[in-house]
Amino acid sequence: MDSIRIVGGNPLKGAIPISGAKNAALPLMIASLLTPETLTLENVPDLADVGLLKRILANHGVDYSVAGKRPGDLPNAGQTLGLTAAEIVDTTAPYELVSRMRASFWVIGPLLARMHEARVSLPGGCAIGTRPVDFFLMGLRDLGAEIELDRGYVVARAPGGLKGGRVRFPNVSVGATHTIMMAATLAAGETVIENAAREPEVGDLAECLTKMGARIEGAGTGTIHVEGVAGLRGAVHRVLPDRIETGTYAMAVAAAGGDVVLKGAHPELLQSALDVLGTAGASVSPAADGIRIVRNGAGLAPVSVTTEPFPGFPTDLQAQLMALATRAEGSSSITETIFENRFMHVQELARLGADIRLNGQTATVRGVKSLKGAHVMATDLRASVSLVIAGLTADGETTVNRVYHLDRGFERLEQKLSACGAEIERVRG
């Protein structure tokens, strides 16, 4: 099993290209099930989750082509995927595939909308909370679906097709918003989605669906209106830059020190996180082709943060911020409100010498003068990269094990960091 070896102490200087957003690419790929024509997606990151979703979609009958891997292709341009679901050959998403990635459950919306039936395994993914699918099923029922659970599978039917309706989520859910919005594009009549997620990835999906012929208004607000159409067509769409990757590298620069331009980054996608970095003592400024992060010599100030749905501080940057806070001069407070089990990285950071105390869903992080390199273990996607950030600042050598978690969400992480002066390498296991 691969690991990542880091020798800390080097400041980061140079430029890091920001890849396409995983959290946008996955629902965009799933949207290909809604049309028999080809959906072309540009700037798709080369990640383990993307590869797994290709397999899942192929199981349903989606043919795909990939550009961006051949000699001469630009290394930082991302993949271009051509996805064609001319014929859906299977409406079952099996356990052995869906159990490995939670987002694959979202195929239930397009399959039900287009084929009027779907049999999808209950999902898996990172062990960061229960994250039930109740909101998904409630929303599909509101669109007229008949749903039952059968031995670990959700069996959904819509004889005669889905019907527009009013869907109100009790709490904000990005995945449920994606799923119901896709399903509603082919439902008869108007659908109103209330308490919808406002994340940029929802807006990116809505933009792509609109290019495909969908009628959607209000994406990016708490209320989305979808007027169903008889069918959707193919389109070409470019995946937006990854705001979580942007925030991760910004925090790495703030923690290790240095001067880096995050090329292709859009600051409006993560302004709350950039504001926190500014409070901590990093300089954040616009660059001609992205965002410039600088911290040269000055110490880090403590921060107080609560994770919230967009436009608040993202839960997907909570672990990275905690790694940064271990080097602050004082005590930081980080409260997690999105997932109930997202502090598994605390014990691993403690192995490096971090001083962190948990009280329910709040972590108090007391900054230390130095971290010491050690062997640590990744527990989930975002936790794993927090250990990388800590390793970049630690004295001596850090080895991060179980880095398959990293490969799910970070494209060419070692190459991007080493190009900016980090001493980091992958050790093949």
Question: Is 420 tagged catalytic?
Answer: no
CA distances from 255 to 6, 265, 273, 308 (A): 14, 19, 14, 23
Residues annotated within the binding site for phosphoenolpyruvate are 22-23
> Global pTM?
0.95
pLDDT tens per residue across span 347-397: 999 999 999 999 999 999 999 999 999 999 988 877 889 999 999 999 999
Q: What is the pLDDT of residue 105?
A: 94
The proportion of the chain whose per-residue pLDDT surpasses 90, expressed as a percent, equals: 86
Task: Write down the pLDDT at residue 84.
Answer: 98
What mean pLDDT comes out for the span 252-260?
Answer: 98
Distance from C-alpha of 356 to C-alpha of 334, rounded to nearest angstrom: 10
- Could you report the per-residue pLDDT of 160-177, keeping only the tens digit for each? 999 999 999 999 999 999
Going from the N-terminus, what domains does the chain have, and what CATH number goes with each? Answer: 3-18+241-427 (3.65.10.10), 22-235 (3.65.10.10)
Instruction: Tell me what the pLDDT averaged over the chain comes to.
Output: 94
In this model, does residue 258 exceed pLDDT 80? yes
Q: Running DSSP on this structure, what letter comes out for residue 308?
A: -
CA gap 318, 129 in Å, rounded: 15
pLDDT higher than threshold 60 for residue 127? no
Q: What's the pLDDT at 405? A: 86
Between CA 373 and CA 360 the distance in angstroms is 28
Q: Give the confidence band of 1 by pLDDT, cuts at 50, 70, 90.
A: confident
Q: Which of 88-92, 97-101, 189-193, 239-243 has the lowest mean pLDDT?
A: 97-101
**Which residues fall in the annotated binding site for UDP-N-acetyl-alpha-D-glucosamine?**
102, 316, 338
Percent of all residues in the chain with a pLDDT value above 70, rounded to a whole number: 95
Residue 68's pLDDT is 64
Instruction: Say whether pLDDT at 401 is over 90.
Output: yes
Find the catalytic residue in 39, 62, 83, 126: 126
Residues ≥6 apart with Cβ < 8 Å to 96: none
Per-residue buried b or exposed e for 402-417, using 16+ beta carbons within 10 Å of the residue's own CB:
bbebbbbbbbbbbebb
- Known binding residues are 22-23, 102, 316, 338
pLDDT digits (tens, 9 = 90+) for 327-346: 999 999 999 998 777 788 99
10 Å Cβ neighbour count for 421?
15
**DSSP single-letter state for residue 11:** P
Confidence of residue 251 (pLDDT cuts 50, 70, 90): very high
Q: What is the pLDDT of residue 373?
A: 98
* Helices 174-184 and 108-115: angle between axes, nearest 10 degrees: 10
At 29-80, the pLDDT tens digits run 999 999 999 999 999 999 999 999 999 999 999 999 999 655 445 555 689 9
Calculate the alpha carbon distances from 262 to 55, 80, 95, 99, 176 in Å. Answer: 31, 22, 38, 34, 31
Give the mean pLDDT of 181-197.
98
pLDDT of residue 298: 85
Q: How far is CA 177 from CA 139, 234, 242, in A?
A: 9, 22, 19
Cα–Cα distances in angstroms (integers) from residue 233 to residues 31, 84, 230, in the given order: 11, 11, 10
Q: What is the pLDDT of residue 70?
A: 52
- When pLDDT is averaged across residues 313-325 and rounded to a whole number, the result is 96
